[in-house]
Structure 1
Amino acid sequence: MGAVLGLCSAAQLACCCGSAACSLCCSACPSCANSTSTRLMYTVMLLLVMVTACITLAPGLESELKKVPFCKNSTHYIPGDFKVDCDKAVGYLAVYRICFAACLFFVLMALITLGVKSSKDPRAGIQNGFWGIKYMLVIGGIIGAFFIPEGSFASTWMVFGMIGGFCFIVIQLILIIDFAHSWAERWVSNYEETQSRGWYAALLLAMLTAYALALIGIVLLYVYYTKSSGCELSKFFISINLILVVIASGISILPSVQEHQPRSGLLQSAVVSLYVMYLTWSALSNASSECNSISGAESSFDKQSIIGLVIWVCSVLYSSIRTASSSSKLTMSDQILAKEGSGEGADGGESGRGQETKVFDNEGDGVAYSWTFFHVVFALATLYIMMTLTNWYNPSSQLSKENVASMWIKITSSWLCVGLYIWTLVAPALLPDREFN
C-alpha cells in the first residue's frame, strides 16, 4: 500500500504532507473543486484497502509464503532467530485485521470532523490535506492490527461487521429508491412544464427499457440457475421476486397512491424491478454449483471470478461515494450540495488567484457534504467489504463462488428493497398528517 503515494490524484500529488489540499498543486493539472478531490483521495484509500484484503484471500498465496525464508515452516529455511508466522498474513483473519484498522481510521476522521460547517474551520486542513500522514497512519494501523492476539477478536469483530454491513446495505437501498423517485419526478416535472412529446417519449422509453431488461433477466435466471428437476430454492427466489415486483408496480398506480403522489408511476417501479433482478442474479451466482450452469463445478479464481469481483468493487465504491455525498437526504437536513464552481477560490477570492489554483476551495461558505457522515458511510462500507469477502456469518478464507451466507444476505436485501419502495408509496396515504419529501 506504500505505492499509494504514486497513485494520488494528480490534483493533490504535491499536497501529500501539507495541511491544505489546494495550496501546492501542479499548474498542468485540471481544475477541480476541493470537495471533489478530497472524496477522490478517500475513495482511492478505500479501494487500496479493498484490493489488499482481496490479495490476502488469493488462492496459492499461503503456499507461496512458505518459500519466504523468515516464515515459520518455510521450505527455504535459513538459520536464525527471526521467524514470523506468515499464516496470519492470509485468510479471513487477515481481512478482519486490515478492515479493522481502516474502519477505525474512518471512525476517527468522523469524530475529528464532527460539527464542521465550512472550510474556514481549523479542522478543514485535516480533512482536505496531510495525505501522506493519513496513508502512513492507515498502513501503520494495518501492521499493528496483526499483533492483536487472536483470542475472541474474530468472533467479536464479526458481530460489529455484520451490524455495520447490514446498515450499509440499508443505506444503499434507501438511496437507490430515492434515485428512482428523483429521476421520475424530474422527468415528469419537465414534461408537465413543457408539454413536450420528447419528454413523454423519454419517460415511456425508459420505463419500457427497464421492464424489458428485468423481464429478460428473469428468463435468463430461469434458464441458467434452475433445472427441470431440483433447484427448488432458486426457483422460489426467482418466482417470489417476480411476484413482489408485480405487486409493487400495481401499488404504484393505485388511485389512492396517485392522489397523494401524482408523480408516482411505473418508471420508479421499473427501476426498482431491474435492481431487484440484479440482486436476485447476484444471490443465485453464489448458489450451489448444481444449480449454476454458468460456473458449473469450477471453484477456482478464474477470469469469471475476477470480472465479477471487479464489478462488485466498482458498485461498492460508487455506492459509498453517492451515499456519503447525498447525506442531506438521509440526515433530513436542509443542506444542499454546493455547486462545483461556487465558493471561495473559484473566482480569485480569498484563496486567491483562481486562474492559478487548480484545486479551488468551494466550501468557504458551507461544506458541500457532511464530512462526518461521509466517514461514517466509508466505515460501514469497510465492514460491508469485510463481511462480503469472508462469507458473512460463516467466515471462510476463500473467495469461492458457492457462498450460502452471501446468497441469503443478497436475497434478503432484494426483499427489503421492495418493502422499502412499497412503504414510500403507501406512507403518504396511510399517514396523511405527516410530510414526506
Structure 2
Amino acid sequence: MCTPCCISQLACCCGSAACSCCCNCCPKIKQSTGTRIMYAFYFLLVTIVCCIMMSPTVEKELRDHIPFYSELCERMNAGENCKTLVGYSAVYKVCFGMACFFLFFAFFTIRVNNSTGCRAAVHNGFWLLKFIVLVACCAGGFFIPGQETFLEVWRYIGAIGGFIFLLIQLMMLVEFAHRWNTNWNSGVKYNRLWYAALAFVTLMLFSGAVAALVFMGVFYTDPEACLLNKIFLGINGSLCFIVSLLAISPCIQKLQPTSGLLQPGVISVYVMYLTFSAFSSKPKEMVERNGVNTTVCVFPLNAGTESDKKIVTIFGTIILFGCILYSCLTSTTRRSSAALRVCRNSEPEAERARCCFCFGDDTDDCDEEKTGGGQNVVYDEREATIYTYSYFHTVFFLGSLYVMMTVTNWFHYDNHKIEKLLDGSWSVFWIKMVSCWVCLFLYMWTLFAPMVCPKRFEA
C-alpha cells in the first residue's frame, strides 16, 4: 500500500516540489522547516563519512569483510588498501567539496525574498539532483592538482572559518539565553506559574554550574600538578560570579528591566561545560608516586578501559555535532540575524510564553497544500522568506570548515583517529578555553551595549 505513495513522492527529488514524506499519516510540515531539515541531513551525512574516514577501525572492518578489497582499491586508483580515501587529507578534500556546495548556494540565493521564484524553487526542491551535485563536489576534491599546497592553504582557511563559526555559535547561545528569559517573563503578568518556572530553572542552572565547578575541583586538580587547571578553574568560576552580579545590578536593570539571573545561569552552565571539555582535551599529566608514574587530573571513565573511552568519545561526539546542527539551523532566522548584529529586532515584540519557545509559533497563517496523497506541506514563504537563504548557506559553509577542523583535531592532525577525538591536544585545549572567555565577553557586551550604543537599542 505504501509503494504507490512512495513512488508518487519521488517527483519531489527531481523537481521543484517541496520534499515530503511518503505517508499521509505524517504531521504537516512547513516548507521552510522541511528544506532546512534536508540540508541538515546532507550536512550530517557528509560529517558521518568524514568520521568514517578518520576511523582505522572502520578501515580494518572493510578490509576484512569486503571480498577483493585490495583489487577494488587498485581499480579505483585509490592506492594500496584505499589509503587515499582515509586520513586527514581525505577529510579535507571531502569537506572542501561540501563547503563549495554551500558556498555556491550562498551566492546563488542572494536577495531571494520569497519562495515563488525559480532560484527559490531550486533552493527548496530538486533534492536528488542536489545530492548528486554534492557527491560530485566531494569527489572532485580528490582530483585537485598540487595536493600538498592545496592541503596547506586549505588548512588555514578552515581554521579561520571554523573560528568564525565558533563565534556565531557562542553569539547564538547568548541570544538563546536572552530570548528564553524574555519569553518566559512575558507570561508572568498573565500567570504567576511562569515566575515559579523561571525561579526553578534558574536555581537548577546555578546548581548545575556549582556542581560542575566542585566536580572539576575534585577530579581535575592535584596538589602536586595541574597548575593550569587550578588557575583557569578559579578564573572561569570568578567570571561567572561577576556576570551574575552584573545582570542584576541597578544600572543594568534600569536599561534592561528583563535582565535577570536566568541568562547568566545558562552562560555559567555552558562555560563550565566548555571548561570541562577543555580539561578533558588537555594532554594527560604524569606524577611520580611511590616510584610509579601516575596519570592525574583525568575524568574517571577516560582513565579506565577501552570500552569506557569509547563511551566517552561517542557521547562527546553526539553533543558536539548536536551543537553544530543546532547552531546551523537556529542562527539563520531573521530574529537571530538581528541578534548577531547586536541590535533590537525592528519588528514589534509579540511574545507568547511557551515551554518550547525555540521552535517557533505554530499559529501563523499559511497556505496548505496536499502533495500527491502524501504529507501536507505548508507553504509559509510565498509572501516573504522565514529565514535568509544566502545567510543560511553561509552558516553551513562555515559549519563545514568547523567540522573539518574538529574531526581532524585542528592542527594536530598527524596520526589522529576519530576514536581519539577526546584524547586531547594543546590546540584544542586553548580553543575551548578561549571560547569560554569569548562567551562571557559577548554576554557582558549585551549588558553594556545599551549604554554604549543607545540608538541601536531604541524600540
Q: Please indicate the TM-score interval, normalised by the length of the shorter structure.
A: 0.7 to 0.9
The Cα shift of 1:95 comes to 0.9
* Range 285-294 or range 177-186, more displaced: 285-294
Q: Distance in 2 between matches of 1:41 and 1:11?
A: 19
Report if aligned partners of 1:345, 1:360 keep a CA contact under 8 Å in 2.
Answer: yes
The Cα shift of 1:37 comes to 0.7
* Matching residue of 2:291: none
The Cα shift of 1:90 comes to 0.8
Query: Aligned letter for 1:153?
Result: F
- Cα distance change, pair 30–80 in 1 and its aligned pair in 2 (3 A): closer
* Matching residue of 1:6: none
TM-score by length of 1: 0.87
Kindly report the root-mean-square deviation, in angstroms, between the aligned alpha carbons of the 2 structures. Answer: 3.1
Q: Distance in 2 between matches of 1:185 and 1:281?
A: 29
Q: Distance in 2 between matches of 1:179 and 1:240?
A: 24
* Matching residue of 1:190: 187
Answering whether residue 336 of structure 2 is matched by residue 329 of structure 1, we say no
Report if aligned partners of 1:118, 1:124 keep a CA contact under 8 Å in 2.
Answer: yes
Report if aligned partners of 1:338, 1:363 keep a CA contact under 8 Å in 2.
Answer: no
Q: Distance in 2 between matches of 1:79 and 1:12?
A: 36
* Matching residue of 1:384: 402
Query: Aligned letter for 1:171?
Result: I
Q: Structure 2 residue aligned with 1:316, among 324, 334, 340?
A: 324
Report if aligned partners of 2:280, 2:299 keep a CA contact under 8 Å in 1.
Answer: no
The Cα shift of 1:52 comes to 0.4
Q: Deviations over 1:255-304 (max 9, x none)?
A: 21111112212121111111111111111121223321321276786232
Answering whether residue 444 of structure 2 is matched by residue 419 of structure 1, we say no
Q: Distance in 1 between matches of 2:73 and 2:406?
A: 40
Report if aligned partners of 2:30, 2:378 keep a CA contact under 8 Å in 1.
Answer: yes
Report if aligned partners of 1:70, 1:83 keep a CA contact under 8 Å in 2.
Answer: no
Query: Aligned letter for 1:137?
Result: V
Q: Distance in 2 between matches of 1:249 and 1:286?
A: 27
* Range 336-345 or range 18-27, more displaced: 336-345
- Cα distance change, pair 355–261 in 1 and its aligned pair in 2 (3 A): farther
Q: Distance in 2 between matches of 1:250 and 1:11?
A: 60
* Matching residue of 2:210: 215
Query: Aligned letter for 2:136?
Result: G
Query: Aligned letter for 1:128?
Result: N
Q: Structure 1 residue aligned with 2:32, among 28, 35, 46?
A: 35
Report if aligned partners of 1:251, 1:257 keep a CA contact under 8 Å in 2.
Answer: yes
TM-score by length of 2: 0.83
What secondary structure sits across from 1:123 in the alignment? helix
- Cα distance change, pair 123–23 in 1 and its aligned pair in 2 (3 A): farther
Runs of 4+ in 1 over 6 A off after TM superposition: 9-12, 65-71, 77-82, 297-301, 335-338, 352-357
Query: Aligned letter for 1:329?
Result: A
What secondary structure sits across from 1:16 in the alignment? helix
Q: Deviations over 1:27-65 (max 9, x none)?
A: 344311111111110010010011000000113345566
* Range 420-429 or range 366-375, more displaced: 420-429
Report if aligned partners of 1:35, 1:368 keep a CA contact under 8 Å in 2.
Answer: yes
Contiguous gaps of at least 5 residues in structure 2: 1-5, 285-294, 349-358
* Matching residue of 1:241: 236
The Cα shift of 1:341 comes to 6.2
Percent of residue pairs identical: 39
- Cα distance change, pair 310–81 in 1 and its aligned pair in 2 (3 A): closer
* Matching residue of 2:92: 96
* Matching residue of 1:169: 166
Q: Structure 1 residue aligned with 2:451, among 420, 425, 429?
A: 429
Question: Map of 1:123-202 to 2, 5 A cutoff?
Answer: 123-149=119-145, 150-191=147-188, 193-194=189-190, 196-202=191-197
Q: Distance in 2 between matches of 1:100 and 1:173?
A: 24
The Cα shift of 1:102 comes to 0.4
The Cα shift of 1:144 comes to 1.5
Report if aligned partners of 1:25, 1:358 keep a CA contact under 8 Å in 2.
Answer: no
Query: Aligned letter for 1:409?
Result: I
Q: Structure 2 residue aligned with 1:305, among 304, 313, 317?
A: 313
* Matching residue of 1:366: 384
- Cα distance change, pair 358–228 in 1 and its aligned pair in 2 (3 A): same
* Matching residue of 1:293: 299
Q: Distance in 2 between matches of 1:427 and 1:281?
A: 30
Query: Aligned letter for 1:259?
Result: K
- Cα distance change, pair 258–10 in 1 and its aligned pair in 2 (3 A): farther
- Cα distance change, pair 324–145 in 1 and its aligned pair in 2 (3 A): same
What secondary structure sits across from 1:146 in the alignment? helix
Q: Deviations over 1:170-189 (max 9, x none)?
A: 11111111111122122233
The Cα shift of 1:360 comes to 2.6
* Range 354-363 or range 174-183, more displaced: 354-363
The Cα shift of 1:212 comes to 0.3
Question: Map of 1:80-95 to 2, 5 A cutoff?
Answer: 83-85=77-79, 86-95=82-91
Report if aligned partners of 1:15, 1:25 keep a CA contact under 8 Å in 2.
Answer: no
- Cα distance change, pair 157–343 in 1 and its aligned pair in 2 (3 A): farther
The Cα shift of 1:404 comes to 2.0
Q: Distance in 2 between matches of 1:80 and 1:278?
A: 46
Q: Deviations over 1:338-395 (max 9, x none)?
A: 965656532xxxx679998611311110011111111111111111111111121332
Q: Deviations over 1:380-422 (max 9, x none)?
A: 1111111111121332432322222112111111100001111
Task: Give aligned pairs, total.
Answer: 419
Answering whether residue 246 of structure 2 is matched by residue 251 of structure 1, we say yes
* Range 299-308 or range 384-393, more displaced: 299-308
What secondary structure sits across from 1:395 in the alignment? coil
* Matching residue of 2:42: 45
Contiguous gaps of at least 5 residues in structure 1: 1-8
- Cα distance change, pair 26–156 in 1 and its aligned pair in 2 (3 A): same
